[in-house]
A and B are shown apart, each in its own frame.
Chain A
């Protein structure tokens, strides 16, 4: 779709618009040109796409989903799906809310050929072969036939077209805090906001439309329009000037979540509003009447016609028929005639208006009035299918008409059958709907604390009552927030009759639409109940009523009435389907735009990047997986093996700063460690390290590390990178109960650490370390010393780790990068080489090290994984002690064993199953090719009787191929551990 280039001379629409004060939203000094379906048009800044097209005489905007019926705007307020159009980079745009911009190129959707002559309209003729729910009963038999239908249906279904290269632009989110959030700026919302703000509350006023005022901006409330116009000006001026009120226009509140947490979408930002109280003054959706062909272009709600006039200065047509079930239709008729539209008939379904002088006013304008009549069928032209006339009938009973017929020519029909409160946010919050048969309206009750409803959403329609109700809600909110205020009573007086109880007239030829989005007629709803679907939830799923973009705004009320009648229940009992967020469509860009992806980096991070390391995520840490090979390439296996070999032959350095570290200090430090870990620690000598494994109360091993005793009452315990957070939280939870005299600190980030490993490790350290005698005699294996590496104070630990002579150095993290630089510089002629996580894993596996979380799972207890030696059975207590005892007394179910395969064998992967015949006895947990041993080695769970070296286990690898591996003793390499104890 190309950008539109306007031709030189254009049709001037300036003279076609109504005179001011009509057209409050358009700027007549700012023309805008655009094209629709390739035809050039003109409008004004402030127009929407739909209003500009209607101003140019075009009503047909879309084709309906199922029958491809021609459609035009119904609400002009974005509350129906008849106006969905295609923009170059965005499908399914609501033309009646999309602002008109210069050069916009717009197309229709969902047609074959052209919008005006859609070849798919012939599907409408097949309607009798597509009864309600037909998709459940066709397309699946005989077996396999769906494969034939699916591509056809996919082509036909769906509306717009995506441009996959379109850039959504920068979207983000922000919190907004308020004491009182008011949703809707109609008269009730404006008054509520003012009352709350005057009472000292911080108010946030949220309005979906571009301007404040709601119905005050388009509707007529009395024959004399001056008072409501003044009210609008006064309220808006006060609200805009008030310091305590923050305004958000063009902002849609899309849901209500617990404790008044509201997503509000404005432009490209999603606001997360947190309010202390919330007033929903969202208004009510005026409802269409239901008669044959009520969906033709040119047939709209009375309020839509009023919006056309007051917002956009557009005459809806030349000759109108108004169909009404309440007094608002009369007021709309007066508006039409005053703006030069010939009103051929005012068809009142009732016997008389509530306000008699309205009848007089209408007749004074020369408008023919029909009482207790309805439109039975609407007719249309061939071109654009615009309405050309209606057939009236007298009402003979509920939903029934008499024989006498009157035909009236017209090109616009305005309907006003009643109101449905905009209940969505309130029902999301747990509000319950109940139907009053007398007024034929739904009402809401059962709202949670500090959520209030006001205005027409609360069933009030007379302007003075609506305003009072807004103030009433605000006083309640103020009082519940702790302000001193007198709470107003609810508006007084009788219930208002604004709903005609049964504005639905079935026609023998059908096409009386209950749901425009889904092309559902009266018979479709009733037939769903005849299939046995009595519950309105089932009617919805079977018929798809209410599942389209307008989500039941106009179909819920008639569906409830029809289903109630068909199943002989009250409308209250029938109810409507569950309201769920979002209220209006929201894009993925709003939800996902500018999301936060925390990452953690060690102090040496820059060095790894400079060296060209291939980085990998380890939880939220970034760690080097491997560094470039000698040839300069980044290949996982090659680099892993080169690095591992180098550690075994010379010396390597790895950044282990991510290792967890917990500092435990105080008189009860040893006692605390003793209770958390399975080993014995009370007698751990100062200056020595000791392996520390931890079980949970189920006896499952959940983490491990090394305990360093720095003083009688001072321990520094390491933990796994991914486990330290949980370990720390668990320690705090235990001590909240034990109340030992101890301080527990998570110091993981306080220390940067490296492991220097290999035969030349001691030689390297001697060059840079001061304050420590590094000889084997003075600093034996498992020892712990304090000294300096250059300027940096350091703990030095001799740990097994990769099975070579190795020193783990911990320095305060501010010295981390310096430590790395110092060692790399000093190690140059010793060929010190960095190694990464991949090589580390291989080296550790060669030593048979069990990695918690990799070689253990949610059931691994110490005796299964050869860690019985680390369990002290004589101390009084450790977490999981009892469970470990119980598990140990049961026959073992499996054992973790080391296995070996020839290097030429198929290589098992982690997770591959170990089988005893047909039975699964375990799984592989780690497996690598070891260049040092020139064999494939790994760890796996197997049947307990396979636990001894010399046994063989069967492993099923990729593609179902089985291999038989030898069970061998651990460690695989340097079985006497001589190298690490040098």
Chain B
């Protein structure tokens, strides 16, 4: 039966695969395999307007009076203040959501970030609590010149480059649901990460597909994205 191709771990948007699709496994999740041809066209699409499901990448939350200290001790580089994010040398991202809460997002790469190899490398001592962000939140990425304009159709916060620089974090309402928007742009390509309640991921995906239509946006598989950006 078709279900046998899937591993045990699934993202909210995994069900869009079909029985005869070519698949690979990433972090225990089943994804459509990358298609090597037309990489240039895909790169162009990423630069213009693309939408992808990054939910198979690792993420976790850390909260508590000692959370910041725990991260610093492990050698991570923390953002300056709440609602900002800092890139780590190995490519993962740490966003500070409040005075005592952090969100760690894995690097867009095939090699998992150190904290993601298993769920307990960060030993949460007293005053420091792990949050199950791998399961509570879905993770989508929106790339290209269009990002601020697409978001302006869905969100009442000004996310233009002047108002929302790289590393900016906005916790707000997107298309009437709660979401976290992170400006994870690189020098070469604008990119927004969107994190939302995992139960709302299919809803937000359909909203975004509609919103990017105006900009000739298209969806892209995560493996294709990692092949280009990883």
* Residue ranges of A at the interface with B (Cβ–Cβ < 8 Å): 172-177, 202, 272, 274, 594, 596, 598-603, 605-606, 621, 665-667, 741, 743, 745-751, 790-792, 812-818, 821
With a CB–CB cut-off of 8 A, which chain A residues contact B198?
Answer: 603, 749-750, 813
Q: Pick from B9, B11, B136, B177: contact of A598, CB below 8 A.
A: B177
Q: Pick from A598, A746, A817: contact of B176, CB below 8 A.
A: A598
- Taken residue by residue from 133 to 176, chain B's Cβ proximity to chain A (1 for < 8 Å, 0 otherwise) reads as 01111000000000001001111101010110000000000011
Cα distance A272–B132 in the bound complex, in angstroms: 36
Contact B8 A747 (CB under 8 A): no
- Taken residue by residue from 1 to 17, chain B's Cβ proximity to chain A (1 for < 8 Å, 0 otherwise) reads as 00100101111101100
Q: Other CB < 8 Å A-B pairs besides A175-B156, A600-B197, A603-B10, 14 of them?
A: A274-B158, A596-B175, A602-B199, A603-B12, A741-B127, A749-B135, A749-B199, A791-B8, A812-B135, A814-B135, A816-B10, A817-B6, A817-B10, A818-B6
Do A813 and B135 form a contact, CB below 8 Å, given A174-B153, A745-B129? yes
Cα distance A738–B71 in the bound complex, in angstroms: 27
Report which residue of A594, A621, A812, A814 has the largest number of chain B beta carbons within 10 angstroms of its beta carbon: A814
Closest to B148 in A: A177
B202: Cβ under 8 A from any A Cβ: yes
Contact A814 B156 (CB under 8 A): no
User: Would you list 26 pairs from A and B whose C-beta atoms are within 8 A, ordered by A residue?
Assistant: A176-B152, A202-B162, A274-B156, A596-B176, A599-B200, A600-B203, A601-B199, A602-B199, A603-B10, A603-B12, A606-B15, A621-B199, A665-B129, A667-B126, A745-B63, A746-B136, A747-B132, A749-B135, A750-B135, A814-B9, A814-B29, A814-B135, A815-B9, A815-B10, A818-B9, A821-B3
Contact A743 B63 (CB under 8 A): yes
Contact B131 A745 (CB under 8 A): yes
Q: Which 8 A-B pairs have the closest CB atoms?
A: A600-B199, A177-B158, A750-B135, A750-B132, A818-B8, A791-B8, A596-B176, A743-B129
With a CB–CB cut-off of 8 A, which chain B residues contact A605?
Answer: 202
With a CB–CB cut-off of 8 A, which chain B residues contact A594?
Answer: 210
Contact A272 B175 (CB under 8 A): no
With a CB–CB cut-off of 8 A, which chain B residues contact A815?
Answer: 8-10
With a CB–CB cut-off of 8 A, which chain A residues contact B175?
Answer: 596, 598
CB proximity of B164 to chain A, nearest CB, Å? 10
With a CB–CB cut-off of 8 A, which chain A residues contact B14?
Answer: 817
* Contact count A vs B, C-beta below 8 Å: 101
CB proximity of B27 to chain A, nearest CB, Å? 10
| Interfacial residues of chain B within 166-191, with CB under 8 A of chain A in the complex | 175-177
B64: Cβ under 8 A from any A Cβ: yes
With a CB–CB cut-off of 8 A, which chain A residues contact B11?
Answer: 814
Contact A818 B10 (CB under 8 A): yes
B227: Cβ under 8 A from any A Cβ: no
| Interfacial residues of chain B within 31-58, with CB under 8 A of chain A in the complex | none
Cα distance A603–B3 in the bound complex, in angstroms: 14
With a CB–CB cut-off of 8 A, which chain A residues contact B29?
Answer: 814
CB proximity of A3 to chain B, nearest CB, Å? 29
Cα distance A792–B177 in the bound complex, in angstroms: 29
Closest to B55 in A: A814
B226: Cβ under 8 A from any A Cβ: no
Contact A599 B8 (CB under 8 A): no
Cα distance A814–B200 in the bound complex, in angstroms: 14
CB proximity of A666 to chain B, nearest CB, Å? 7
Cα distance A87–B133 in the bound complex, in angstroms: 55
Q: Pick from B63, B156, B163: contact of A272, CB below 8 A.
A: B156
With a CB–CB cut-off of 8 A, which chain A residues contact B134?
Answer: 812, 814
Closest to B131 in A: A745
With a CB–CB cut-off of 8 A, which chain B residues contact A750?
Answer: 132, 135-136, 198
Cα distance A173–B197 in the bound complex, in angstroms: 24
Cα distance A274–B149 in the bound complex, in angstroms: 15
B19: Cβ under 8 A from any A Cβ: no
Cα distance A600–B127 in the bound complex, in angstroms: 33
Cα distance A105–B9 in the bound complex, in angstroms: 60
Q: Pick from B129, B132, B135: contact of A666, CB below 8 A.
A: B129
CB proximity of A55 to chain B, nearest CB, Å? 37
Q: Pick from B129, B132, B156: contact of A812, CB below 8 A.
A: B132
B207: Cβ under 8 A from any A Cβ: yes
With a CB–CB cut-off of 8 A, which chain B residues contact A602?
Answer: 199
With a CB–CB cut-off of 8 A, which chain B residues contact A751?
Answer: 135
With a CB–CB cut-off of 8 A, which chain A residues contact B9?
Answer: 814-815, 818
Closest to B153 in A: A174
Cα distance A747–B134 in the bound complex, in angstroms: 11
Cα distance A84–B199 in the bound complex, in angstroms: 49
Cα distance A741–B156 in the bound complex, in angstroms: 35
Contact A172 B176 (CB under 8 A): no
With a CB–CB cut-off of 8 A, which chain B residues contact A748?
Answer: 199
CB proximity of A52 to chain B, nearest CB, Å? 32
Contact A177 B160 (CB under 8 A): yes
Q: Pick from A173, A598, A745: contact of B203, CB below 8 A.
A: A598
With a CB–CB cut-off of 8 A, which chain A residues contact B177?
Answer: 598
CB proximity of A735 to chain B, nearest CB, Å? 13
Cα distance A817–B6 in the bound complex, in angstroms: 10
With a CB–CB cut-off of 8 A, which chain A residues contact B12?
Answer: 601, 603
CB proximity of A712 to chain B, nearest CB, Å? 13
Cα distance A750–B131 in the bound complex, in angstroms: 9
Report which residue of A174, A605, A812, A818 has the largest number of chain B beta carbons within 10 angstroms of its beta carbon: A174
With a CB–CB cut-off of 8 A, which chain B residues contact A274?
Answer: 156, 158
CB proximity of A753 to chain B, nearest CB, Å? 12
With a CB–CB cut-off of 8 A, which chain A residues contact B63?
Answer: 743, 745
Cα distance A747–B129 in the bound complex, in angstroms: 13
Do A747 and B64 form a contact, CB below 8 Å, given A272-B156, A274-B156, A599-B203? no
With a CB–CB cut-off of 8 A, which chain B residues contact A599?
Answer: 200, 203
Closest to A751 in B: B135
With a CB–CB cut-off of 8 A, which chain B residues contact A666?
Answer: 129
CB proximity of B34 to chain A, nearest CB, Å? 22
With a CB–CB cut-off of 8 A, which chain A residues contact B203?
Answer: 598-601
CB proximity of A249 to chain B, nearest CB, Å? 19
Cα distance A528–B163 in the bound complex, in angstroms: 55
Contact A175 B152 (CB under 8 A): yes
With a CB–CB cut-off of 8 A, which chain B residues contact A600?
Answer: 197, 199-200, 203
Contact A749 B136 (CB under 8 A): yes
Closest to A175 in B: B152
Cα distance A243–B180 in the bound complex, in angstroms: 31
Closest to A789 in B: B8
Contact B3 A747 (CB under 8 A): no
CB proximity of B188 to chain A, nearest CB, Å? 24
Contact A792 B8 (CB under 8 A): yes
Closest to A595 in B: B176
Contact B152 A601 (CB under 8 A): no
With a CB–CB cut-off of 8 A, which chain B residues contact A791?
Answer: 8
With a CB–CB cut-off of 8 A, which chain A residues contact B200?
Answer: 598-600
Report which residue of A173, A747, A750 has the largest number of chain B beta carbons within 10 angstroms of its beta carbon: A750
With a CB–CB cut-off of 8 A, which chain A residues contact B210?
Answer: 594
With a CB–CB cut-off of 8 A, which chain B residues contact A173?
Answer: 153
| Interfacial residues of chain B within 191-217, with CB under 8 A of chain A in the complex | 197-200, 202-203, 207, 210
With a CB–CB cut-off of 8 A, which chain B residues contact A176?
Answer: 152
Report which residue of B64, B136, B155, B158 has the largest number of chain A beta carbons within 10 angstroms of its beta carbon: B136
Contact B129 A172 (CB under 8 A): no
With a CB–CB cut-off of 8 A, which chain A residues contact B155?
Answer: 175
Closest to A815 in B: B8
CB proximity of A245 to chain B, nearest CB, Å? 15
- Taken residue by residue from 88 to 112, chain B's Cβ proximity to chain A (1 for < 8 Å, 0 otherwise) reads as 0000000000000000000000000
Cα distance A202–B135 in the bound complex, in angstroms: 41
Cα distance A174–B159 in the bound complex, in angstroms: 13
CB proximity of A246 to chain B, nearest CB, Å? 11
CB proximity of B216 to chain A, nearest CB, Å? 16
With a CB–CB cut-off of 8 A, which chain B residues contact A745?
Answer: 63, 129, 131
Closest to B100 in A: A743
With a CB–CB cut-off of 8 A, which chain B residues contact A172?
Answer: 153
Cα distance A814–B132 in the bound complex, in angstroms: 11
With a CB–CB cut-off of 8 A, which chain A residues contact B176?
Answer: 596, 598
